[in-house]
Amino acid sequence: MPKSKRDWKAPGTVAFLYMFAAFVLIAGVRLLFPDPALAAFSLEIFSFKAKLAGTIAEFIDLFPAIFMSALVIPFALDPSNKDGSARFSESFFDSMKKPLSLCVAGTVVFAALSLAAGPLLTGYQTRVDAQSKLYAASRIKAERYAREAQWRSAAHFMNICEGIWKENPVLAELRVEIANGLEALRYARAPKDAPPQAAGGGGQGKAPLTPREALEHAEKAFADERYYDANWFADAASKLAPPGSAERTQAIRMSALSWNAIEKIEPSRAETRRHTLYKRKREGYEALVSGDVINAYYQFKTLQDEAPDDPDAQKYFELSRQGLEAIAFFYDEFDLIAAGAQNNAVFSIPSDDAGGRLVLRIASLARFENCAFGRDLELIAVDAGKQPAFAVAAELVKIIPTVADGKNRTAVLMHPVDRSDPNASGEPQWTDHAPSPESPVGKPLLILNLTYEDFLLAAYAGQSVQGLFSSQLWTAAEKLKPLGYIPQTFHAQMISRFYAPAFFLPFSIFVLVVAWKYRPKTKPRRTLIPMLFVLPLVLHSIAQLVERIFNLISIWTVVTAGWLAASIICAGSTLTLFLLALFLLAAQRGEEN
């Protein structure tokens, strides 16, 4: 091909270098001048990652403008002749194959960024923000409980802080204080060896004045079958009487007689141990059968510690633990909330078929596949007449899947307990506005009228619709309407998310058409430097305007015409724009020979 028939292309190298330079510039600005919105990421350990996530998110937001600027810049790198060839020239269209290929590649990259990376970044930023706020709230509570000498509660919240930011030097002094408090608490509650039992009643604290008086007390106590008292007075008389005296001989004889009587009425140590274990096993079994699984758990745990080889202890301990975990949870489980939290999760859930609802708010919520943990639950139930039925508040909750009346449901456990200490437990605060036999007031758990999977989906949707993946959007539109969500919200988000990358391709071809038509004809390199900075600003403004118009149109079509009609309209519009863009590109005149 003659030299004048150069391929007008936007070289991939030029596009890559331009976009890389733009990313470095954005990162530099983010690191040197952080966005005030990042103030929520207050923890030092999250600072760099939060700035990096913000940089990537902003780069995705600016990607259309940056890419299309990279598409235009190469036209200023080489001088251009005047238009010469006829319109719809095959040779001209062939020369545009590489720029068109770059447009397709950019569309694929933008689709990957917007459909996958975008929701991931949104979820990460929200999670870090929630963890930072959870850390601050847990630190305040740990300090408060430490001041009140409630060491177990202080330790629970300190563990949450440690899970988010391990060994933060700022909390070193508080960490030591709590550890010392727990050690003092364990020492105070540890069993002490009891001193030998004192003999006798009120007169025992007064020593006998003479050996004869002590011996008389011993004989009287022996006659009354108070053998412990008799032995004590006899020992006292033997110590007071002179060696070889008659009183000493009589005292030694009385001491032996009283001790023999004690041995006859007192079971052996082995018998006492067997009786104690039997009594504890019986009490634990009775508690388990009666449904008092928490008391049964502690009984069998103590029995298991005292008799680890007893098969009944192990068997019934597991049964009681399973029963406990159905209505309560252990404090140390709550430390998992540090793994990932959501701030201010709000739910509106139907409580029955008559129109009642449960409205609950959880200050911090950590979600997992088989359970969730929450801090500071506030719940109010209203009946069909919109009148309050009951309310409950709990500092710590565990949310698990369960089965109620043969249906998959979600249970909210509000009774935290300690694994070893039966005195360390928390109770929810109930308020009963309309007492009734069906009211759950006072019960250890609350059943929510939805599956655990739907609960998780509602939590994700409440956190950020933009953070939902495409499959979750479709499921949310189908299932979350009873929880107060509008299905059109998810439908419009799906259309916007899928058709934004599709619309990216015709839009980039339109930019290619404009770039070719208005390419510099004389002294093109003088326009290069201004184009590097002006083009992204102009194209970003245009892209933002087009995106908002497209979102408004998609919402309007979803609301007025429905999801299917809106999808068909958007697909047809995108295809029409693509064909129109190709037509306009082919209609351009090629370069003059």
| Tens-place pLDDT, residues 375-418 | 889 999 888 888 888 899 998 899 999 888 888 999 999 988 88
**487-517 helix and 97-112 helix, angle to the nearest 10 degrees:** 160
Strand 342-350 and strand 357-367: the pairing is antiparallel
C-alpha atoms less than 13 angstroms from C-alpha of 212 in its C-beta half-sphere: 0
Model pLDDT for residues 193-244, shown as the tens digit of each residue: 333 333 333 344 444 448 888 888 888 888 887 776 777 788 778 878 888 8
Does pLDDT of 162 surpass 90? no
Separation of alpha carbons 154 and 178, rounded Å:
7
- Lowest-confidence range among 138-142, 273-277, 322-326? 273-277
Buried b (16+ CB within 10 A) or exposed e, 385-411: eeeebbbbebbbbbbbbbeeeeeebbb
According to the model, what pLDDT value does residue 198 have?
36
Judge whether 10 and 69 are in contact, CB under 8 Å. Answer: no
Length of the chain: 593
Beta bridge partners of 365: 342, 374
pLDDT of residue 6: 45
The pTM assigned to this predicted structure is 0.63
Are the C-beta atoms of residues 72 and 571 closer than 8 Å to each other?
no
pLDDT by residue (tens digit) across 505-542?
Answer: 898 888 888 888 777 666 655 666 777 778 888 888 88
Residue found by looking up tokens 């108070």 in the block: 226
Selected residue with higher pLDDT from 165 and 41: 165
Q: Which two tokens stand for residue 576?
A: 């029409």
Pick 324 or 48 by higher pLDDT.
324
User: Residue 5 has what pLDDT?
Assistant: 42
> At which residue do the structure tokens 């599956």 appear?
451
